[in-house]
Chains A and B, each alone.
Chain A
Amino acid sequence: MSEVVKVGMADLNVAKPPQKIRTSGLGSCVGVVLYDETIKVCGMAHVMLPNSSLGKTETMNKAKYADTALVVLLDKLKKMGANHVRLKAKLAGGSQMFKFSSSSEMMRIGPRNVEAVKEKLKELRIRVVSEDVGGTSGRTIEFDPETSKLSIRTVSQGVSEI
């Protein structure tokens, strides 16, 4: 049995083989995986909100926001020996689980999270290899740094790999 590193909501972590890394129940949240295929290390963040300027607290959980989480994750991976130029990204989540007629900005948070993650990745010059975002379903994702495959499970469509 290989060990699975779990990433909670508004949380991030890193893993290397034989470990896998998983986060459950992504709704409007976005799961971002950064990985270095050559030395087989990876990191995952479960991002809840697009921008740290939305935060109203003095003590900030950096893993919660797209802009700050990616910087922390990048830093952790570099400490494990990952090379910035080799890093690639895969992402999943950002769905809109509920449809409201009076759709407020807060309800559109899924797409906004995806946009924010992509923008930050672009700024950090990390290429997005594949993604499964949007839609109306919740997702549970698991990344295997050995194969660089991200498996995505939804209630209605079962398991797929990207």
Chain B
Amino acid sequence: MSFINRIQPEHLDILKEVGNIGAGHAATALSKLLNKTIDMKVPAVRVTSFDTITELVGGSDNVVAAIFLRIEGEAPGNMFFMLPVNEATRLIQYLTGDQSFDLNHPPYSELGLSALQELGNILAGSYLSAFSDFTKLNLQPSVPALSIDMAIAILSYGLLELSQVGDYAIVIDTEILEKIDENSKKTTGHFFLLPDPDSYEKIFQALGVPMNE
């Protein structure tokens, strides 16, 4: 029986909490880094089929800057931090002071890419360490990899493990936003957490709500 069928509403709530705690820490880290107010949305936990997953990342032609980490340890999985290219450009210009850096026009400067990779590393790292503390599971991130490309082509990498056991994915999606002024906010990026199929059992067990057989 597919593991998806054994997942109950309370399990989805647990995954939401994982997204909440993880992205909350990442938002704090980003806020300190930029010295700006960063907000986050309530995480969305979606069970989607592979053909509809495109909608999740803003349509098939949406281009993003993405940092990808493979999570190793007791509950392996994949993690992505995706930013719209314009937003990534703005952040890197701010961090490096190099106004000529633009992700819309390759080739990109090595320094800018390196800064973006490091930014992703810090944010994904704080997400992951909060996740690890919360669950008491031993988790280590791989070295982050960076890609500027079609969102769906990038996300499909995170589906490979899942694709061997079914045609559905559980995606824990948390959006973080930058506060511009009292009334307006601007999307900074999305965290996508995709645990491997065997990891769900371990996460739920660790948090005291095991799955029924």
Contacts and interface: CB of A to CB of B under 8 A. Distances in A.
A133 to B, nearest CB: 14
Interface residues of A, number: 35
Given A9-B50, A24-B61, A25-B150, A57 B2 contact: yes
A65 to B, nearest CB: 9
Contacts, number: 100
A138 B150 contact: yes
Contact of A25 (B68, B70, B153, B160): B153
Given A8-B50, A100-B142, A102-B142, A28 B166 contact: no
Contacts of B160: 28, 48-49, 106, 109
B61 A28 contact: no
Contacts of A9: 50-51, 53-54, 152, 156, 159
Contacts of B128: none
B157 A97 contact: yes
A28 B152 CA distance: 11
A52 to B, nearest CB: 10
Interface in B153-185: 153-154, 156-157, 159-161, 163-167
A27 B53 CA distance: 14
A94 to B, nearest CB: 11
Contacts of B161: 106
Contact of A100 (B51, B143, B165): B143
B145 A57 contact: no
Contacts of A90: none
B60 interface: yes
B165 A25 contact: no
Interface of B: 2, 50-54, 60-61, 63, 68, 70, 106, 142-143, 145-154, 156-157, 159-161, 163-167
29 contacts: A10-B51, A10-B167, A11-B50, A24-B54, A24-B61, A25-B60, A25-B151, A25-B153, A25-B156, A27-B149, A27-B154, A28-B160, A48-B160, A54-B164, A57-B165, A57-B166, A97-B149, A97-B154, A97-B157, A98-B68, A98-B145, A98-B157, A100-B142, A100-B143, A102-B142, A106-B160, A106-B161, A107-B157, A136-B147
